[in-house]
């Protein structure tokens, strides 16, 4: 029978996870509440469930980084399951916006990110976000399956997020 704790006793491993929880749960909850609002408690709970095996093996060297990565993965998994959200009327661009310098900088940054994106991802991203096409329409236009459109869109969003974190 194998030892699921990697050589660490169950009580000792659970105590280590409890210490991590006590130390970082408040920080994680506060950090996520700003971004996810009502979903925060569910994400925090799922994050600790997914962190438990790492704690049992004694592999957590950077707990904050691990917890944030787990939450990122949880959010990506949820987005994959839910699919793309339709645009709300408040999400549509105003044809005559009052442009402030900060939004101009954001627009230049977005343009740079899009231009450096791999062409296959960029095509799907631009058709979805700027031409407001449905995934089915994008697939027909690019002659690719809808599942490929979904995969490329996920990769494009991951690319944008990675570029913004730099």
For the entire predicted model, the pTM comes to 0.43
pLDDT of residue 22: 82
On the question of pLDDT at 124 being above 50, the answer is yes
Comparing 8-12, 57-61, 79-83, 125-129, which segment has the lowest mean pLDDT?
Answer: 8-12
Residue 151 corresponds to which tokens in the numbers above?
């995969």
Q: What are phi and psi of 50, to 5 degrees?
A: -75, -25
pLDDT digits (tens, 9 = 90+) for 68-115: 888 888 888 877 777 766 666 655 555 555 556 667 777 888 888 888
C-alpha–C-alpha distance, residues 27 and 117, integer Å: 33
On the question of pLDDT at 164 being above 60, the answer is yes
Q: How far is CA 83 from CA 74, 86, 98, 147, in A?
A: 14, 10, 32, 11
pLDDT of residue 90: 58
Calculate the average pLDDT of the chain: 79
pLDDT of residue 11: 58
């Amino acid at each position: 029978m194998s030892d699921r704790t990697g050589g660490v006793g169950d009580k000792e491993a659970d105590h280590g996870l409890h210490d991590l929880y006590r130390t970082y749960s408040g920080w994680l909850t506060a950090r996520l509440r700003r971004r996810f609002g009502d979903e925060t408690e569910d994400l925090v709970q799922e994050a600790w469930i997914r962190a438990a095996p790492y704690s049992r093996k004694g592999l957590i060297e950077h707990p904050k980084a691990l917890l944030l990565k787990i939450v990122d993965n949880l959010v990506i998994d949820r987005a994959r399951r839910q699919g793309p959200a339709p645009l709300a009327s408040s999400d549509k661009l105003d044809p005559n916006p009052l442009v402030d310098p900060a939004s101009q900088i954001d627009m230049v940054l977005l343009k740079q990110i899009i231009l450096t994106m791999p062409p296959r991802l960029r095509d799907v991203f631009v058709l979805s976000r700027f031409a407001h096409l449905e995934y089915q329409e994008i697939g027909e236009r690019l002659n690719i399956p809808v599942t490929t459109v979904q995969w490329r869109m996920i990769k494009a969003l991951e690319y944008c997020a990675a570029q913004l974190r730099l």
